[in-house]
Structure 1
Amino acid sequence: MPDRPIRLYGDPVLSTVSDPIDRIDDGVRGLVADLIDSVKVEGRAGVAACQIGVGLRAFSYNVDGVVGYLINPEIIELDGEKTEIDEGCLSVPGLWFPTPRHPYAKARGTDLDGNEVIVEGTGTLAQALQHETDHLDGIVYLKRLLPEHRRDAMRAVRESEWF
């Protein structure tokens, strides 16, 4: 399966809450394969299904050489004071802004066999878990920015070549 084109900010699929995956079938297996292939592209830490145009609750991650995925993920624990960390998004290409995130996150989901999977971590993995779960809830990271950064971000988006 090839990596799929990434939907850009402004596409309605990115602001829509993704539907739960009720059963594992060939379509879901293909989606997970596409998510894995898409996240393996250099410089990518995560890809949510909505970013490739599919409104289902699944994402892949690629952090520190570990590639994985979660189906129907939910954040079950966040720890530590939120701190601003530079964050970007494939759907907002070329733009990075300080985004408040917890330094630790734990997510629960399932794999293609229906087994429960727990993924937890700090740093980039914690950031990716929060970022990708937000995508599935119809939230692009720009909505998480503090007001002074959000104004700059929205201006940069409007002035970008891709918008």
Structure 2
Amino acid sequence: MAILKIARMGHPVLLRRADPVPDARDPDIRRLIADMGETMLDAAGLGLAAPQVHVPLRLFVWRDGDRVRALVNPALTLLGPAEATGWEGCLSIPGLRGNVPRAARLLFRGQDEAGDAVEGEAEGMAARVMQHEVDHLDGVLYPMRMTDFTQFGFNEELARSSTAAAAAITAARERSA
């Protein structure tokens, strides 16, 4: 296995629609999935799409607890009108984070790392990660989904401002007590 180079925002591979994987059982695809899993873990990511490692194919890997899973030629169906806004980062946009609205639940289908058909339902963080990764397959980066750019910034600044906000709330509560 190998650690792959991650494409960063601005690289054209991140802005195009990825091509379908012709054969999920191809040994080269299985090797790519293994290398992507190793790369994602090494970079402390929650998910990684093939275009992020300069391969314009429709597949991604994600963490499922302690296990790395893959979804090849994924199709997502968003369930219900419920939407959740949550903080996202991206290995292709290092050091930044933004608050992104996503569907709260979804159905997914495609092929797994062995090339077998798979389908299921995801919610919460798993649904968020899957939507983020499928966006990569469609040439969409998370800032393109944001609706409030006051909720976008460098990790260190956001952490500092949230610490300051928490301290101000605590101080106000102590004054009113």
TM-score (norm 2): 0.78
Matches within 5 A, 1:1-150: 1-23=1-23, 24-41=25-42, 43-146=44-147, 148-149=148-149
Q: Report the equivalent of 1:160.
A: none
Q: How far does residue 113 in structure 1 lie from its aligned partner after superposition? A: 4.3
Provide the C-alpha distance between the structure 2 equivalents of 1:74 and 1:91, rounded to a whole number of angstroms.
Answer: 22
- Letter in structure 2 aligned against 1:32: I
Provide the C-alpha distance between the structure 1 equivalents of 2:130 and 2:105, rounded to a whole number of angstroms.
Answer: 9
Larger relative helix fraction: 2
Deviation by residue 1:76-122 (Cα, 9 ceiling, x = unmatched): 23345222111111111111111001121221111354321124322
SS at match of 2:135: helix
- Letter in structure 1 aligned against 2:110: G
Q: Does structure 1 conserve the Cα–Cα contact (< 8 Å) formed by 2:84 and 2:101? A: yes
Q: Report the equivalent of 2:159.
A: none
Q: How far does residue 36 in structure 1 lie from its aligned partner after superposition? A: 1.6
Q: Does structure 1 conserve the Cα–Cα contact (< 8 Å) formed by 2:104 and 2:123? A: yes
Q: How far does residue 30 in structure 1 lie from its aligned partner after superposition? A: 1.6
SS at match of 1:4: coil
Provide the C-alpha distance between the structure 2 equivalents of 1:114 and 1:43, rounded to a whole number of angstroms.
Answer: 25
TM-score (norm 1): 0.84
The number of residues matched between the two structures is 153
Sequence identity (%): 35
SS at match of 2:70: strand
Q: Does structure 1 conserve the Cα–Cα contact (< 8 Å) formed by 2:132 and 2:142? A: yes
**Does the C-alpha gap of structure 1 residues 42 and 92 become closer, same or farther in structure 2, counting only changes over 3 Å?**
closer
Structure 1 residues without counterparts, runs of 5 or longer? 157-163
**Does the C-alpha gap of structure 1 residues 35 and 79 become closer, same or farther in structure 2, counting only changes over 3 Å?**
farther
Provide the C-alpha distance between the structure 1 equivalents of 2:81 and 2:68, rounded to a whole number of angstroms.
Answer: 25
Question: Highest CA radius of gyration, 1 or 2?
Answer: 2
Structure 2 residues without counterparts, runs of 5 or longer? 155-177
- Letter in structure 2 aligned against 1:73: P
**Does the C-alpha gap of structure 1 residues 80 and 67 become closer, same or farther in structure 2, counting only changes over 3 Å?**
farther
SS at match of 2:5: coil
SS at match of 2:76: strand
Provide the C-alpha distance between the structure 1 equivalents of 2:113 and 2:123, rounded to a whole number of angstroms.
Answer: 25
**CA-atom RMSD, angstroms?**
2.0
